[in-house]
Chain A
């Protein structure tokens, strides 16, 4: 299957070390090699503090690599250029802007004319259920709606790759499950390529095509699993009842070496 899809992102022996010049360097990411295929959702799971977010920052071009390389769309990542869209646990909506003006932020930075940006944003708003809230300030929205607005902001400027850094972990359980289904559907419909960081194994299995299990810090790739449903469009809620889900869950659970840290 890997050969059928061109890779939109590659990491080739990527290595990140903090404070390299000092006598106490911290190796956050040791050796990551992976490929993200076009239209795929790839989940990264690993123990907390294993360097997942560091890897994201490197992919976004926010911090330099000390070894190896990352390419996005065939181009080596040297600095932040807007090639990736970022979505974090915090929605990071600007409280002084209306929902629609938040969604156009990325387009605005790229110099897209205001009217055109608004048309694109309005289209996303209409299709993904925020109609009627265009002019609201983010404070008037629920947590789930805010995260959806944040996703639209990410989709609007059409980045090659979307990075989701635990985007659901601040939400209550019910909202989280429903939003997972929603986000998965939106990403599939839009045909986007996504890397999802999560420590929630269930979330990884129900949303992703493939799951990369990382080791403890410094991060390396421990193993890669394909979910049994691949690109098949399955409901992330219903899928939790399938035996394959349970099976994969316990396999990954054991892989994670969740040793208690005292």
Chain B
């Protein structure tokens, strides 16, 4: 082998950093995370004892715990969690799937991309939640309308992000594919779809939040069940402890969904 080969044979990139200290470090971080939570609760409780916070307006840690236990016992919490969970997941899946596919396919037709451009800007700018009352009217009071709200909002975000992803692909790559004699469909499959994946996945992350907002706001407007309904209803009754139970349940749902998306991201191996 020539000298050239020897010089060039050193890989430039250092190996991917592995998790440095493994289990010990992870446990320590977890401990600190629990610590932060305990500090917040402690301040809350001290504030109540000192009389700075009124239990009627802020709820109490113990009251939240009692409310949580009671609602868990009578099954209402799980029922609300299940209803909202279904709305969020179905809305998320429908919206992300159709939106990502649509945004990608638009690459195939620059003409339609130009035609739709002002609409995309308008949809991007509008507070998407403003569509919620309309959708309730169209889809009724049941779960369908919440699924529809979550789908439509996540659709818009997924569509715009996927399309943006296709536009960020290096034009020289497209040129290379053309010079190879590739058809637009071949270029689409080989370059555009995989090249846009990071954008699509980042849209998934955003959409976990948007799907939750869509479902919960839908439930605020009108519903018969769900965590949003529960929070809204409890708020009307000044049952602040139940409001907190609802909010914490939504946070847990958000964390679960985030974890699923993170797992998907790792599966797709986006860190090249």
Contacts and interface: CB of A to CB of B under 8 A. Distances in A.
Interface of A: 57, 60-62, 80-86, 88, 90, 92, 94-96, 105-106, 108-110, 128-129, 133, 136-145, 148, 157, 174-175, 178-179, 181-182, 185
11 contacts: A60-B179, A61-B179, A80-B180, A86-B179, A94-B190, A94-B195, A106-B180, A129-B1, A145-B11, A175-B8, A181-B2
A81 B176 contact: no
Chain B interface category by residue count? 20 to 34
A136 B178 contact: no
Contacts, number: 100
Given A96-B272, A109-B186, A185 B2 contact: yes
B98 interface: no
Contacts of A128: 5
Given A140-B13, A142-B12, A81 B181 contact: yes
B173 to A, nearest CB: 6
B4 A179 contact: yes
Contacts of A108: 190
Contact of B272 (A61, A82, A137, A144): A137
B179 A62 contact: yes
B10 interface: yes
Contacts of B13: 139-141
B181 A142 contact: no
B8 A179 contact: yes
Given A129-B8, A142-B12, A148-B8, 7 more contacts: A62-B179, A92-B172, A92-B173, A92-B176, A109-B182, A109-B186, A129-B1
B261 to A, nearest CB: 19
B33 interface: no
Contact of B179 (A84, A143, A175): A84
B25 interface: no
A76 to B, nearest CB: 16
A62 B175 contact: yes
B62 to A, nearest CB: 52
Contacts of A174: 7
Contacts of B106: none
Given A108-B190, A178-B3, A182-B5, A90 B178 contact: no
A62 B178 contact: yes
A92 B190 CA distance: 13
Contact of B191 (A86, A94, A141): A94
A82 B164 CA distance: 29
B21 interface: no
A221 to B, nearest CB: 23
Q: Which 4 A-B pairs have the closest CB atoms?
A: A82-B181, A144-B8, A178-B4, A129-B5
Contacts of A175: 7-8
A48 to B, nearest CB: 18
